[in-house]
Structure 1
């Protein structure tokens, strides 16, 4: 998506070197419709510059900092030297992500989506998530729930969630822990089975979380959790172990949760 307005001073933008002159470089701003700026030779690189072409090439993609914007004169002054390596990499990745999101919009709503409807959907995602990419990513992780606070209609939400689930690679993290379960009662085996079902969530684990419990060796069981971030994964892991411990405790048993697997004593 290209913005129809003007960039703001201090903003970082992605551009393509369109024309090189002795006094500076003209840059087409790729995120804005029909916007072109000038990077004066003094803003191309630090130090004395003998030849601008020693620092940039025509057609090169660059990240620039917007210095001044004069809408009346239709002029935008830019700087290349004021962008450090970290900012450059981060901005380029952000730009690539938005290109992906632009493609997902086309997959979700088709190439013939009217410009006004595209803008309305995009603006809803931008307002709620800060970027279209983050909107699709959250839809992939949390489904319809992620879009509840937007003004998108049901069909639009369905299309976004379906497309996100099929195309977005979600950055899941995995954590593991172990729980030792014992129950001295005569029906202890059934109690342990009930505890393991509780640990697995009794079918009520959120759809963005993957949780499995496997047998290691009596009395130890391994709990493995995949979730969108470490905080959520750790919380789900601890909740799983606590559910199992609660069940065995109700039947006079005990449960011990630990992160590292217990080693057999020699």
Structure 2
């Protein structure tokens, strides 16, 4: 999706070098419809420049900072030198992400979706999310729940969620903890098995969470959690250990959660 408006001074934009002259570089802005900016030779690189072509080439993708915008004269002044390496990488990644989101919109609603309908859906998503990419990523992780507050009909939301889950590669994190379970009663083994089932959640763990429990060495059991972020992963890990500890305590045993492995047996 390209914006129909104008960039703001101070904004970082992605563009393609369209023309190189003795006095500067013309850049077609990739994120804005029919917008072209000029980076004066003094804004192309630091220091004295003998030949602009030593620093940029036609067709090159650059990140530039918007210095000034004059809509009446259709002029956008840019600076390439004012963008550091970190800003360049971050902006390029953001731009690539939005290209992906644009592709997902086409997959979800068809290549021939009317511009008005596209804009309606995009505006609704951008009311709740910073970018379209963020909206699709959140939909892939949390499903319909992520879009509860988005002003779209159920059919559109279901379409976005289905497309997101089929196309978005969600970043996950893995955390591990341990729980010691002991029960002195004659049927203690059965109670420990029940506690381990409780630790696994018995189907109550969300679709985006992967949780497994394995035997390490008596009385220690390993709990592994894979989740979209550390906060959720840690929360699910602690909840799993708490379920196991509570179940074994109810049977007259003891449970103790710890993060580091304590036995030597694998």
CA distance in 2, matches of 1:59, 1:112: 29
What TM-score comes out, normalization by structure 2 length?
Answer: 0.97
**Residue 253 (structure 2) aligns with:** 253
1:263 deviates by 2.8
**Residue 55 (structure 1) aligns with:** 55
**Residue 109 (structure 2) aligns with:** 109
Structure 1 residue ranges, 4+ long, deviating more than 3 angstroms after superposition: none
In terms of mean alpha carbon deviation, does 182-191 or 102-111 score higher? 182-191
**Residue 174 (structure 2) aligns with:** 174
Deviations along 1:78-113, whole A, 9 cap, x unmatched? 000000000000000000000011111111111111
Where does 1:1-266 land on structure 2 (aligned, <5 Å)? 1-264=1-264
Secondary structure at the residue paired with 2:34?
coil
CA distance in 2, matches of 1:29, 1:169: 28
1:216 deviates by 2.0
Q: CA RMSD in A?
A: 1.1
CA distance in 2, matches of 1:214, 1:63: 49
Deviations along 1:49-80, whole A, 9 cap, x unmatched? 11111111011000000000011111100000
**Structure 1: any 5+ residue segments left out of the alignment?**
none
CA distance in 1, matches of 2:208, 2:172: 9
**Structure 2: any 5+ residue segments left out of the alignment?**
none
CA distance in 1, matches of 2:12, 2:264: 57
Alignment length (residue pairs): 265
1:264 deviates by 3.3
CA distance in 1, matches of 2:152, 2:201: 32
